[in-house]
């Protein structure tokens, strides 16, 4: 029978045991350490070696950082303070140099009563970027300010008459108007060509005399600052921001050109991109410092910072073009065909369907290009501009601070780290925000 079997078993439990807490070695800090630090003998060795390494590094660095020399006035003064504090063998940082020179490291030789201008420029930069970076939290009307900002930025930094940026802006307005009328009356293509030609003629021929005339009629302006007074982080950020902002549109155009079916356009773009990517930035900076004036009409002599800006922008554009090309190539063919089937023309398809997706795919690459460009701005110290690294040499030339090395390098490295690290974190945030779930 069915019951017979059960009688042969000596004992059957008929109640559940209550749940028990896991053994102490599996939970809490001990369990975590067993799983993550000491899971095998090899891991245990690695852990102990790492702990030892951390200890030695910290033991060397922490006492050095915690040195009471913030009030030092010179290196020898710092050494006396250290000896008096019993820091043994004068081992410790001399922070006096940072306290005395950090303003210079940030603003270079910019006139001190005008510090508000770069500060305002960079605060306004945040305002101008906000509708672009945080489009979901900031009213989109601010975008108008973002469009005006490229003209406000150089005016705030370099100063001078207000008519120059207005004249520059007028070029865009004129080009836009000519495009609008020409494209209605003739064709889109002719409109683009005529609009661009009108803008170029305005900038090359008319802008300077017109702004000069307006200046003589109505002199509105702020104190002008020469380029050679620019320096420090302000210079790095200026070069970085301009190169980043200009390289994105140029890079998009180059990438589209490289992907295009038009053979000549394609080879011009390929040649440009491969040439720029094949040479180091430093040779392009040599071009900026020695050759660019030779390429321009005789008698032209434009500012060294402007020349550097042009070359760094060209450099960044080539890299940007490759990143965006990657994004374009990653788009499924169906997206292009979908755009065609809707009857969109080339530019509409690019603007509404292709570019938003391609740019989203290439965000990580774009941001790492940004970071690379910002880091590469230190190279201008080699052609004699006073970026933070160039300034650190200038500071060491001062008799008071002769022999200071680590404090300056450490401070500069820290500032660069903060900038670049926050950029990379922002790109991660952006990637997560734009994540549509299907790749």
Partner 1 sequence: MSTLTDPPKEQFRLSMLLYDTRYRSATIQVIAMLGFMLLAAWLIDNTLSNLAAQDKAIDFGFFTESAGYDINQRLLEYTSRDSHLRAALMGLLNTLVVAVLGCITATILGVIIGVLRLSSNWLVARLMTIYVELFRNVPVLLWIVFVMAILIETLPAPRAFRGENPEATMSLADSVAVTNRGVYIPEPLFSRTLGDVHVFGEAALRFDVSLDLIAILAVLGLSLWGAHRVTLRANRIQEATGVRPKTWHVRTGIIVLPMLVLLIGLGFHLGYPALKGFNFQGGTHLRNSLIALWLALSLYTAAFIAEIVRAGIMAISKGQTEAAEALGLRSNRIMSLVVLPQALRVIIPPLISNYLNLTKNSSLAIAVGYMDITGTLGGITMNQTGRELECVLLLMLVYLAISLTISGVMNWYNEAVKLKER
Binding site for partner 1 (CB under 8 A): 36-37, 39, 43, 46-47, 50-51, 53-54, 186-187, 189-190, 193, 261-265, 268, 274-275, 277-283, 286-287, 290-291, 293-298, 371, 375-379, 381-382, 389, 405-406, 409, 412-413, 416-417, 420-421, 424
Report the nearest approach of partner 1 to the CB of residue 34 (Å): 11
Report the nearest approach of partner 1 to the CB of residue 280 (Å): 4
Report the nearest approach of partner 1 to the CB of residue 43 (Å): 5
Instruction: Decide whether 205 or 291 has the Cβ nearer to partner 1.
Output: 291
Instruction: Decide whether 165 or 251 has the Cβ nearer to partner 1.
Output: 251
Report the nearest approach of partner 1 to the CB of residue 409 (Å): 5
Report the nearest approach of partner 1 to the CB of residue 154 (Å): 25
Q: How many CA atoms lie within 13 A of 45 on its CB side?
A: 2
Instruction: Decide whether 249 or 280 has the Cβ nearer to partner 1.
Output: 280
Q: What region does 208 belong to: left with phi over 0, alpha with psi -120 to 50, or beta?
A: alpha
Report the nearest approach of partner 1 to the CB of residue 19 (Å): 28
Instruction: Decide whether 245 or 268 has the Cβ nearer to partner 1.
Output: 268
Report the nearest approach of partner 1 to the CB of residue 367 (Å): 12
Pairwise CA distance, residues 292 & 298, whole Å: 11
Instruction: Decide whether 275 or 429 has the Cβ nearer to partner 1.
Output: 275
Instruction: Decide whether 166 or 279 has the Cβ nearer to partner 1.
Output: 279
Instruction: Decide whether 140 or 300 has the Cβ nearer to partner 1.
Output: 300
């Amino acid at each position: 029978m069915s019951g017979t079997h059960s009688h042969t078993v000596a004992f059957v439990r008929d109640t559940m045991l209550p749940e028990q807490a896991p053994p102490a070695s599996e939970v809490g800090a001990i369990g975590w350490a067993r799983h993550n630090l000491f899971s095998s003998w090899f891991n245990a060795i690695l852990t102990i070696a790492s702990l030892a390494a951390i200890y030695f590094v910290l033991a060397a660095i922490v006492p050095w950082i915690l040195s009471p020399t913030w009030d030092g006035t010179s290196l020898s003064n710092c050494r006396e303070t250290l000896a008096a504090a019993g820091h043994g063998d004068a081992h410790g940082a001399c922070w006096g140099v940072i306290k005395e020179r950090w303003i210079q490291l940030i603003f270079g030789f910019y006139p001190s009563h005008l510090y508000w201008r770069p500060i305002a420029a960079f605060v306004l930069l945040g305002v101008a970027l906000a509708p672009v970076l945080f489009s979901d939290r900031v009213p989109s009307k601010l975008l108008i300010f973002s469009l005006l900002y490229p003209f406000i930025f150089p005016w705030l930094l370099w100063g001078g008459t207000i008519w120059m940026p207005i004249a520059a802006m007028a070029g865009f307005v004129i080009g836009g108007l000519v495009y609008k009328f020409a494209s209605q009356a003739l064709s889109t293509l002719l409109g683009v060509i005529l609009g661009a030609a009108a803008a170029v003629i305005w900038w090359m021929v008319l802008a300077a005399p017109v702004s000069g005339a307006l200046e003589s009629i109505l002199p509105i302006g702020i104190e002008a600052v020469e380029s050679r007074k620019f320096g420090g982080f302000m210079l790095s950020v200026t070069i970085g921001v301009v190169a980043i902002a200009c390289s994105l549109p140029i890079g998009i155009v180059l990438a589209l050109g490289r992907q295009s079916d038009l053979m000549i356009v394609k080879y011009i773009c390929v040649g440009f991109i491969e040439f720029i990517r094949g040479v180091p930035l430093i040779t392009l900076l040599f071009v900026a410092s020695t050759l660019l004036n030779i390429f321009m009409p005789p008698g032209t002599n434009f500012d060294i910072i402007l020349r550097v800006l042009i070359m760094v922008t060209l450099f960044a554009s080539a890299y940007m073009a490759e990143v965006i090309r990657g994004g374009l190539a990653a788009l499924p063919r169906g997206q292009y065909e979908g755009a065609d089937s809707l009857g969109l023309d080339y530019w509409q398809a690019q603007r509404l369907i292709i570019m938003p997706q391609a740019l989203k795919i290439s965000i990580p690459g774009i941001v790492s290009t940004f970071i690379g460009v910002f880091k590469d701005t230190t190279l201008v110290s080699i052609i004699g501009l006073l970026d933070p690294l160039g300034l650190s040499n200038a500071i060491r030339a001062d008799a008071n601070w002769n022999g200071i090395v680590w404090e300056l390098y450490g401070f500069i490295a820290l500032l660069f780290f903060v900038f670049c690290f926050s950029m990379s974190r922002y790109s991660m945030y952006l990637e997560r925000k734009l994540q549509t779930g299907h790749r």
